[in-house]
Structure 1
Amino acid sequence: MSENSSLPPISRRTALKLLGVGAVGSVAGYSRFAKPQPTIHQQETLDLPRHLSKGKKVVVVGGGLAGLASAYELSQRGFQVTLLEKSPQLGGKIASWKINVGEDEFMMEHGFHGFFPQYYNLKSLVEELSIKNNFQSLDYYSLVFKDPETYLPEVFRPTNTAFPWNIVDLAISSPNRLRWGINLTNFKHLEVFHAITGFKIPRTFKNYDAITVAEWVNEDFPKGLYDLYFLPFAKSSLNAPDTLSAGELLQFFHFYFFGNPEGLAFNGTVDDMGTSLVQPIADAIRANGGKILTDVSVGKIHCENGQVRSLSYQQGDEQTDIPFWVKENTLIEDDSLAYYGAGDTMYAVDEATDEGISLTCTHQGCTVGRQPDGSFVCPCHGARYDKNGKRLSGPAQRDLATFEVEAKKADEVKLIAKNPSSDLETATLEADYFVIAADVPGTRHLFTRMTGEIDPEATRRVETLAVSDPFAVGRFWFDRDFDWEHSWFTSLSGYALTDSITLYHRIQTQFKEWAAKTGGSVIELHAYCYKEKEFPTQADLLATFENELYEIVPELKGATVIHRQLVNQKNFSGYPPNSYGDRPTTQSEIPNLMYAGDWVKMPFPCGLMERATSSGLLAANQIIQKEGLSRRPILSVNPEGVFKI
C-alpha cells in the first residue's frame, strides 16, 4: 500500500465483495494458484521446412520496429532481404541519434519506452538475440496527480496475478479505492464492468467502435475509475479520449490488464533504444545476408498484372527531386506566409512566389519560429536564419532546406526540393515480395508514388488511415540533482501538457555517468497527445514544459538549464471511431504486398511496441506461408475476456 495512504487495510475477501467480482474468482484458468498461459495465436500443425531451398527476394520499406521484425524473420529463413529506411537512423519511433551537450555527446530518443512482460513476440526476439542484459527492471511505476486533495499517488508494483486477482490486489494497495465510484447495482456501471472484462473480437468493436472514449464515459461512468485509470492509460495509447474509439480502448485495457496473465511488471533499457534493441536486430539481419539502406527516398513503386513488380529509390541527402504532399497548418497566424506540416516536419511557403523553406533547424532538428523582423530562430538552442533560410548565427552550420510548390489542392501542396543534391545514388529493385512497414504518413506517401495498375481498394483503405494528435518530448539537462519520492518513470495527471516524467540520470548508463561526474540531472517530460491549437509552436511547448517541470519538481527552481532538447511529431497511428472495420490487415489486396505497423488490424489484442513487432512477424509469416515454409509461432494474451456475454 502507498506510504501516503490514510485508509485502513482491507482483506482480499472484502475487496472481492467491494468490487463485485467474487463470483469470477473460481473461473477456470484464472485462480490465484493456476496462472493462465499465453495463447498461441499461430503455430503450424504440419511438419514443414523452415528454410528456403531457392532464392526469393523481399523488399521491406520502413526501418521501425515492424519493418525490423519482418526483415529479421525473413532473413532468418533464407530470403534475400533489402530493408529501406527514409531517416538517417533505423528504429522509427524507437530510433536514437547523437546530440551534443557542451563537450559531451549523448544518444537522444523519441521518448522513454517501457517494456511489459506480455510483450511475448518482442521478448522472443530479445531472447533469440541474447540481449536480455540490455534491459532492466524498474521495480514499480507511479501515477501522481497534480491535486493531491483529489487523488493520492497510485503505485503499480510487479505481481504474478491475473484477473480478477490483479484487480483485488490493486484495490488492496490503492489509497484511492473508495474513490473508484463503482456501484454494480447501477446498470450503467454493470455495463461498464461487463465491457471491460468481456472483451472479444469482433463483438467489442461492433458494440463500441462507433463512439469515442469521451462519449462513452459521459454517460454515468464511474468517475474515479476514469480519472485514475482510464484517462491516464487511454492517453498512453497516444490517442486522446475525444478521438479514440471506445472499442480500441477496451482492446488496450484487455491487453495491458484484464487479459494479461503476467502482472504489472515494467522494464526499461540499460542504454538508449538504438543501442539496446535496434542495433542488435539490424546486426542479425546483416549477419544473415540482409542489406540495409538508410537515407532512402522511394521514387516509384510500379504495379503490373495485379502485383508489385519493382521499386525505384534515391539514396543520400534528404534533398531529393522526389515531390511530396503536405497538409496545410492553419494554427500558426502569419500575414506573409502559409504553413504546412506539423510537429518537427513543417514548411513555410510564400504564396506570392510559390517558394518555401523547411522549418527544421539544421543543428539538432527543432522547429524554428518566425520572428517579427522576418528571421527564424530555433527555440531549443538559438540558431538564427534570415527570411530566406540562410544561416545567420548560432550552432547550426547549414542553411534551411528550400522548396518549390509543384502542385496544389484545397488544403495541401506538393513540394519539391529547389536544389536537390547532384550526387544521389539511384536504383531500381525487383523482388518477389514487398512489405510496407512505414508509419501512416509514410504509407500514404508511398501510395502516391505508385504507378501502373494500382488496386483502387488498397488505395482507398490506406487513404482512410488516421493520425493521432501530436506528441512531444522535452528533455532538460540541469546543473543539480533533486530528491524524488516516486518511480524513475512516473505518469502524471492534471497538467495542461505534461503526461509523464522520466529521470534519465537514474536509469540509463550514459546519463548516470554524466550525473555522477557533474552532479546534474537529466529529466524528460512527455505529452502523449496534445492539442495543436493550444500549443501551435515548439516555443509554446518548451515554455509550458519548463513551467510545469518547476511545478512538478519545485527544487529545480533557480537551477541552471544546461541544455534543452525538444522532439514533437505527428505520425502516431490514430484509432478513431468507425475505423476498425476498414483497417487494413497484414495481407493487402495486392497478393505480393504485405503491411506491417501498429496501424494494421490485428487478429488478437496487443498494443504499442508489441503491436508493431507482432504485425511485422505476421507479415513475414504471410510470405513464409506462401513459400510453403513453417510459420513462426505467434503468441498473445488470452484473446477474450472472462465474461463471454
Structure 2
Amino acid sequence: MTTHAHADPQRIRHRAPPGLHDAAMLPARPHVVVVGAGIAGLAAATALAERGVSVDVVERENYLGGRVGGWTDHLADGTPVAVNRGFHAFFRQYYNLRALLRRNDPELRFLTPLDDYPLIDVHGRRDSFRGLPRTPPWNALAFALRSPTFRLRDLVRIDPRAAAPLAAVSVPDIYHRLDHLDAETFLEQINFPTAARHLAFEVFSRSFFTEPARMSAAELATMFHIYFLGSSEGLLFDVADTNFDGLWSPLREYLTAGQVPSRTGTVRFHTGVAVAAIDTTSGAPFRIVDTTGACIDADGVVLATDIGALGRIVAASPTLGDTAWRTRIEHLGTAPAFLVQRLWLDRPVNEDRPAFVGTGSLHPLDNISIVNRYEREARHWADHHGGSVIELHAYALPETTSADPDRLALREQLLARLHALYPETAAARILGERLLYRRDCPRLGPGDFAHRPTVTTPHRGLVLAGDGIRIDLPVALMERAATTGWSAANHLLTHWGVRGHDLYTVPTQGRSALLRRLATRESPTL
C-alpha cells in the first residue's frame, strides 16, 4: 500500500497475513456482497476485487461515497450546481483512505493543501496552525505558547500526572483508562485552561458532532494523539478540488473496467436500492434480500452501512449473529444532528478571508467554508456570476431542531453569524440555498467503546465496516471508515487463505518513553 512522499517515518505498518496471491487459485472463486458504497464499503470492495474475489456492491443512494458523496442539483433558475453533505478535511495521516484514493490518482492531484485553517472565538481571539513545527511534541507546544488563549502560567497549572494520558496515548489501552469519563470532566480534572478548552478542544470535539460533555475522554485523547502528538504529518490538511463525485466515479471505473491488478475480480454496482434483510438459512451461505424483493446469494457479506441502516438490517434478520452480538448492534447510538447551509451569493467575499475557518463559542456556527476557493465546480459558478459559494456548518444540535420551524430559526442564526464575521456578505443577494439536516453519524460517548461491535462477527463470512465500528488502532472519522473497510476485506481473505492488504497508522502509542512511564503510574484523578 503506497504512502505519500512526506509520510511520518515512525508510522506503523500492520502487515496482513500471507496467503494465495489471487482467489482464482481457489477451487471456487468466493463471491461477496458489500452493503453500502461509502468509504468503508468502497475500501472493502477494492481490497477484495484486487485479490480476485467477485463482488456485488449494493448502495441505497444513487451515488457513491456515502457521507462523502457528491451529486448534481439545480438552482431555482435551472442552473446545475455540484452539491454534497459538506466540507471534509483530508488529513495527511489518513494513510489508508489515501491508499484507496490512489487507485484513481496515484499522485493525489485532486487534493489541494490549505495553508492554514484559523480558529476564532466570540472574543475575536484567533489561533493558527500555519508555520508550526512538524515534530511532536514541539508542534503542540508551539501551538499552545503562541495561542492567545494559552499562557505560560497555564502550563504550570496543568496537573502533569492527570494529563499524561494526552501525551502518552496507547491504543486500545487509553479506552480502558479513560472511556468512562466525558471529555469535559477530564479537561477540568487536569486543569486545562477554560478559554483554550473552548477554542481548541471544543472545536475538535464538535467536529465529531459531539459536545465535550457528551464525548468520551478516551476519544478526545486518541484524537489528540492522531492529530497532535502521535504524528509528524502536521496539523494542516488537504481538501478535494472537485465535488466528491469526482473522487468516486473514477474508482468505480477502476473497479468495473478490469483495471484492478488481479484482472480476475469483478465488481458490480447496484445503486438506488437498499438491503432489507440477510438470511442464513438458505443461499450459499448468505442470501441478501433487497427492498424490491430481489435476492443475491453470497459466500461473504460486508455490512458497511451507517448505524441506523445496520440496526434495521440486523433487526430484520433474525438468524444473524447471536444474542450478545445483536444486543451490541441494538445499543449503537448516533451523535446529535448537524446542519449544513450552502449559499450561492451574488458577490464575492473579501480576498483575505481564509478558505476554511473554525469557530468557538459562536453557537450555532461551527465553521465557514468559502467553497469556491478550493472546489472547481463552485469556482466556475462564482467566476461566471461574480459571486461566491459559502458553506456554514452547525454541529451537535439540540433535539428541538428536528422540527422545521426550529431549522428555519437556525438558518437565520447562521446567517447572522456570517454577516457579523464577514460584513461584506450582509448586503449580498442569495441566488441559491440548500439546507441539509442529518443525524446519522456514530455516537462516541463515555462507555461506548466496550460495547461497540468489532469488524468480526459470530459468522466467519460476515464482517462489519464503518466509522462507528470498533477497531483497536489509532484512527478516526474518514480514516476509521477506510481502515475498517480494508480490515473487513482482510478478514474474509484470510478465511479463504488469500493474502490481504497491509495497513498503516500513526504510532499506536505515544512517542515519549518518559511520558509513557508517567502515564502508566497510578493517578488519583483517573
- 1:243 lines up with 2:214 in the alignment: yes
Unaligned runs of 5+ in 1: 1-33, 316-425
The equivalent position to 2:169 in structure 1, one of 195, 199, 203, is 199
Cα distance change of structure 1 residues 632 and 556 upon mapping to structure 2, 3 Å threshold: same
By how many angstroms is 1:293 displaced? 0.5
Q: What does the per-residue CA deviation read over 1:301-354, in whole Å, with 9 as the maximum and x for residues that have no partner?
A: 112399952111145xxxxxxxxxxxxxxxxxxxxxxxxxxxxxxxxxxxxxxx
By how many angstroms is 1:47 displaced? 6.5
Which residue is 2:129 aligned to?
156
Structure 2 counterpart SS, 1:193: helix
2:179·2:219 contact (CA, 8 Å) conserved in 1?
A: yes
Which residue is 1:137 aligned to?
113
The equivalent position to 1:637 in structure 2, one of 499, 506, 524, is 506
2:283·2:297 contact (CA, 8 Å) conserved in 1?
A: no
TM-score (norm 1): 0.73
Which residue is 2:262 aligned to?
none
Which residue is 1:231 aligned to?
202
The equivalent position to 2:290 in structure 1, one of 313, 316, 335, is 313
Q: Higher helix fraction: Structure 1 or Structure 2?
A: 2
- 1:90 lines up with 2:64 in the alignment: yes
The equivalent position to 1:597 in structure 2, one of 445, 452, 466, is 466
Match of 2:372, as an amino acid?
A: H
Cα distance change of structure 1 residues 305 and 583 upon mapping to structure 2, 3 Å threshold: farther
Residues 397-436 of structure 1 mapped to structure 2, 5 A cutoff: 426-436=293-303
By how many angstroms is 1:482 displaced? 2.2
- 1:68 lines up with 2:42 in the alignment: yes
Match of 1:216, as an amino acid?
A: F
2:344·2:389 contact (CA, 8 Å) conserved in 1?
A: yes
| More divergent stretch after superposition (225-234 vs 564-573) | 225-234
- 1:615 lines up with 2:490 in the alignment: no
Residues 164-563 of structure 1 mapped to structure 2, 5 A cutoff: 164-171=137-144, 173-178=146-151, 181-183=154-156, 186=157, 189-219=159-189, 220-275=191-246, 277-288=247-258, 289-304=266-281, 309-314=286-291, 426-452=293-319, 454-533=321-400, 536-537=403-404, 538-563=407-432
Query: Aligned partners of 1:122 and 1:164: how far apart in 2?
Result: 25
Cα distance change of structure 1 residues 234 and 602 upon mapping to structure 2, 3 Å threshold: same
By how many angstroms is 1:586 displaced? 0.6
Q: What does the per-residue CA deviation read over 1:111-135, in whole Å, with 9 as the maximum and x for residues that have no partner?
A: 0111111011111122232251111
By how many angstroms is 1:440 displaced? 0.4
Structure 2 counterpart SS, 1:458: helix
The equivalent position to 1:107 in structure 2, one of 65, 82, 100, is 82
Match of 2:462, as an amino acid?
A: L
Structure 1 counterpart SS, 2:102: helix
By how many angstroms is 1:256 displaced? 1.3
CA RMSD, 1 decimal: 2.2
2:179·2:446 contact (CA, 8 Å) conserved in 1?
A: yes
By how many angstroms is 1:534 displaced? 5.8
1:243·1:576 contact (CA, 8 Å) conserved in 2?
A: yes
Structure 2 counterpart SS, 1:181: helix
1:471·1:568 contact (CA, 8 Å) conserved in 2?
A: yes
Which residue is 1:567 aligned to?
436
Unaligned runs of 5+ in 2: 1-6, 259-265, 521-526
Match of 2:371, as an amino acid?
A: Y
Match of 1:471, as an amino acid?
A: F
Query: Aligned partners of 1:547 and 1:145: how far apart in 2?
Result: 15
Which residue is 1:353 aligned to?
none
| More divergent stretch after superposition (197-206 vs 54-63) | 197-206
* Number of aligned residue pairs: 494
By how many angstroms is 1:492 displaced? 1.0
By how many angstroms is 1:563 displaced? 1.3
By how many angstroms is 1:527 displaced? 1.3
Match of 2:439, as an amino acid?
A: K
Cα distance change of structure 1 residues 477 and 451 upon mapping to structure 2, 3 Å threshold: same
Match of 1:65, as an amino acid?
A: I
Which residue is 2:21 aligned to?
49
By how many angstroms is 1:522 displaced? 0.9
2:344·2:431 contact (CA, 8 Å) conserved in 1?
A: yes
Q: Higher strand fraction: Structure 1 or Structure 2?
A: 1
TM-score (norm 2): 0.89
Q: What does the per-residue CA deviation read over 1:201-223, in whole Å, with 9 as the maximum and x for residues that have no partner?
A: 23321221112112223333332
Query: Aligned partners of 1:240 and 1:195: how far apart in 2?
Result: 20
By how many angstroms is 1:160 displaced? 5.9
1:117·1:262 contact (CA, 8 Å) conserved in 2?
A: yes
Match of 1:202, as an amino acid?
A: P
Structure 1 counterpart SS, 2:400: coil
1:307·1:590 contact (CA, 8 Å) conserved in 2?
A: no
